[in-house]
Amino acid sequence: MIVDNLIKVGMADLKVVLGKDEILKTTGLGSCVGVILFDQITHVAGMAHVMLPNSNIARDGVVNIAKYADTAIPDMLERMKSLGANQSRIFAKLAGGAQMFAFSGTSDTMRIGPRNVETCKEILYDMKIPIHAEDTGANFGRTIEFHCSTGMLLIRSVQQGVKEI
So where are the chain's domains? 7-152
Taking each continuous run of H as one helix and of E as one strand, the counts in the chain are 2, 10
Chain mean pLDDT for the chain: 91
Strand ranges, E, within the chain: 6-8, 14-18, 23-29, 33-39, 44-50, 91-96, 131-136, 142-147, 152-157, 161-164
User: How would residue 100 be classed by pLDDT, with cut points 50, 70 and 90?
Assistant: confident
Which of 17-31, 51-65, 103-117 has the least mean pLDDT?
103-117
Give mean pLDDT, residues 104-129.
Answer: 85
Tell me whether residue 5 is exposed, middle or buried, using C-beta atoms within 10 angstroms of its C-beta: 0 to 12, 13 to 18, 19 or more: middle
In angstroms, the Cα distances linking 151 to 3, 44, 93, 131, 136 are 18, 10, 9, 13, 18
Higher per-residue pLDDT: 152 or 19: 152
Torsion, Cα 78 83 85 87, to 10 degrees, reads 10
Burial string for 16-33 (b: 16+ CB within 10 Å, else e) reads: bbbeeebbbbbbebbbbb
Q: Is residue 165 classed exposed, middle or buried when 0-12, 13-18 and 19+ CB atoms within 10 A define those classes?
A: middle
The pLDDT assigned to 111 comes to: 83
Q: Is 144 exposed, middle or buried (0-12, 13-18, 19+ CB in 10 A)?
A: buried
pLDDT digits (tens, 9 = 90+) for 12-32: 999 999 988 999 999 999 999
Phi, psi (5° rounding) for residue 39? Answer: -110, 105
Answer yes or no: is pLDDT of 2 > 70.
no
**What per-residue confidence (pLDDT) applies to 8?**
97
Res 103 pLDDT > 80:
no
Whether the predicted pLDDT of 11 surpasses 70? yes
User: Could you say which architecture CATH assigns to the domain 7-152?
Assistant: 2-Layer Sandwich (3.30)
- Could you tell me what percent of the chain has a pLDDT over 90? 79
